[in-house]
Amino acid sequence: MATALFAQRGFDAVGLREVAAAAGVDVATVAHHAGAKAQLYDACFARVFAAEQRVLQEAAQRAHPALVAGPRQALGALHCLVDVFVDFLEDNPETTSLWLRRWLEPQRHVELDVRYAEPLYALVVGLLNAATEAGTLTEPTPQVTVRSLVWAVHGHVTALAAGVRSNARERREFRAFVHRLLDALYGPADSTP
């Protein structure tokens, strides 16, 4: 309940009484189990992070051997890795909403990024660095690439939530776009789309 409320309205617009009412308990129960509102907010990010980390770590373990095996295998592994990330956020849009609300105030709650975003970025940056070291791809600024892809995927999930276009069509087109982007970044120079 708290995650959905914070994702919909942000930190300042949600009170413990509202969380308690949504959960069907009294505010003392929420305070006893979650502590102050800031602790509850952190717990929401921790829960989202745990789910995302589990999915991405499994995908990273599957991707690593292919990322260092050769250029074509590396590109295929990146397609699979980004597909897992897109699938996760499409299936859990509250994750995007929660992060977007947090990022509206970039100087506030910075510790959440340190604990719950940076480890996931580092996981993928590490994969890109390993592939670069193995010579299967060249990525001079992996942190920029990862951050750009993350923001693109969050933008895609936001577009799905807006419902302006067919979600099935939007999903297909976005997936094709991300694959083309990866192909352009890392595919052989002589390949044609």
Mean pLDDT computed over 142-171:
91
For the chain, domains (ranges, CATH) are 42-186 (1.10.357)
The rounded distance, in Å, linking the Cα atoms of 15 and 83 is 36
pLDDT band at 191 (very low <50, low <70, confident <90, very high): very low
Average pLDDT, the chain: 92
The answer, yes or no, to whether residue 159 has pLDDT greater than 50, is: yes
The answer, yes or no, to whether residue 162 has pLDDT greater than 90, is: no
**Side chain identity at residue 86, one-letter code:** V
Torsion over CA: 77, 78, 80, 84 (sign): positive
| Total-model pTM | 0.89
Convert the pLDDT of each residue in 113-130 to its tens digit.
999 999 999 999 999 999
